[in-house]
Structure 1
Amino acid sequence: MTRAALDAGAPLGLYEILEPAGEPELIHRETREGEAILDLGCGTGRITHALAALGRRVVAVDMDPAMLEHVHGAETVLARIEELDLGRLFGGVLLMSNLVNNPDDERRHALLLACRRHVSASGVVLVQRLHPESGLDPTPTERELGGVIIRTSDVRREGPFLYVTIDYDGGARGSWSVRLEGARVLSDDDVLAELGTARLRFLRWLDPERRWFAAAPA
């Protein structure tokens, strides 16, 4: 395991029980078979493990050592994404879990620059964002994912910034509450602008809801 500077951790127990929801198949389809994949902000390996099971080589990066202790079947790197510089290029670079919706402009730019530093000339950066209409309807929601009930409440939008409480009920496995305080929702035009400043170019939307998109070196 490579080590670098750290920040505070996250709800490890939650990441342990959340199951993939089609992400591994999307990533496998959109990246060339045989190319290594860089999973930025891998957590406990929810997606890393599924990709490894598909036969993919994965380098998993997270800033929380407790998270990385749960990752297996992949090389792990302990580091902040913004500061990462492995000196290697990858056919696929993943920026998932709405990390691109960071409210801080400089940090958001630094995240995309890290993607640009590590993607090969023929590779792709796969990014997951919040839906651009997130929070416009304040109605609470409820859905189920792998036996975990996910509820949203106290939802509001202030311009492009989203405020919402997300409760995860795993029954006997535990429950967690996460509060998003001002996540920066990105419009389609915002996506193009953000990519341009990081020397990346937009390729295509990857899902009907336009929450996933692919980019490549400009």
Structure 2
Amino acid sequence: MGLTGAGRREGYSGTGPGGTAPDGCSVELWARLPVGDEPDVIGRAVPAGARVLELGCGTGRVTHPLLERGFTVTAVDESPEMLAYVRGARTVRSPIEELELDERFDVVLLASFLVHAGDLRVRRGLLRTCRRHVADDGCVLIQREGEGWHDTLPRERTIGQGPGVARLLSSDPVGDGVRSVRFEYVFPDARWTHTFLSRPLSPLEFERALAEAGLALDAYLTEDRTWARAVPAAG
């Protein structure tokens, strides 16, 4: 996923009001996006009061509900502008794939479809970071793209209770199994776009990627298999 000028990740960009993170995400946009069902999925999957390492926390959209539920959260992001929004959690500024904390956690959280990084080296680095920081009896929770996520485009959904709308405009092959994906977020007062690279993974490819990092699939947590729990592989 190499970095280009001003720390920008190649193939990743964004437009709209305010600054953007290295992956093209708008800080102002993510600060206003509501949380979805992530805290519910996580809460059902792990022990109460667990120590959570949240990789790619952004502005704390998931961090804050987890804190409210009694979890202890260490929140990691490479964008200082994103981290400035996080309250109540220990924060660490670092690219995920370079993270080296001298501790391990009950739960490592890799949400936001980050496992689909277009660059294989980055994906491997992300999963190695998960393995490096999860306790022997802990687990890694990973959010995946849904089946057919790149098909039947464009499509849109209402953001929370409205009035914002998120549109998945396009997903174009750019070689080596990677697609360039373009999103649009429209509110009455502002519009943002986000372009990023995604490498689709079948369930078998996903499990192989886990195994390569020393992890094993424990269970899919949702019927659509967009959330999975992995554990350290035996041996």
TM-score, shorter chain, exceeding 0.5: yes
Q: Distance in 2 between matches of 1:96 and 1:142?
A: 21
In structure 2, the partner of 1:177 is 193
In structure 2, the partner of 1:3 is none
Helix, strand or coil at the partner of 1:39: strand
Q: Which amino acid aligns with 1:202?
A: L
Q: Is the 8 A contact 2:78 2:96 kept in 1?
A: yes
The size of the alignment, in residue pairs, is: 210
Q: Which amino acid aligns with 1:107?
A: V
Q: Distance in 1 between matches of 2:104 and 2:170?
A: 42
Structure 1: stretches of 5+ with no match in the other structure: 1-5
Q: Distance in 1 between matches of 2:140 and 2:156?
A: 30
Q: Percent identity?
A: 37
Alignment of 1:104-183 (within 5 A): 104-137=119-152, 139-146=153-160, 147=162, 148-157=164-173, 160-172=177-189, 174-181=190-197, 183=198
Q: Which amino acid aligns with 1:69?
A: A
Q: Is the 8 A contact 2:158 2:166 kept in 1?
A: yes
Q: Distance in 2 between matches of 1:7 and 1:125?
A: 28
Structure 2: stretches of 5+ with no match in the other structure: 1-5, 9-20
| TM-fit CA distance, 1:33 | 1.1
Alignment of 1:1-218 (within 5 A): 7-8=7-8, 9=21, 10-137=25-152, 139-146=153-160, 147=162, 148-157=164-173, 160-172=177-189, 174-181=190-197, 183-218=198-233
Q: Is the 8 A contact 1:136 1:156 kept in 2?
A: no
What is the root-mean-square deviation in Å for CA atoms of aligned residues?
A: 1.6
| TM-fit CA distance, 1:69 | 0.7
Q: Is the 8 A contact 2:147 2:224 kept in 1?
A: no
Q: Which amino acid aligns with 1:171?
A: P
Q: Is the 8 A contact 1:93 1:115 kept in 2?
A: yes
| TM-fit CA distance, 1:7 | 4.1
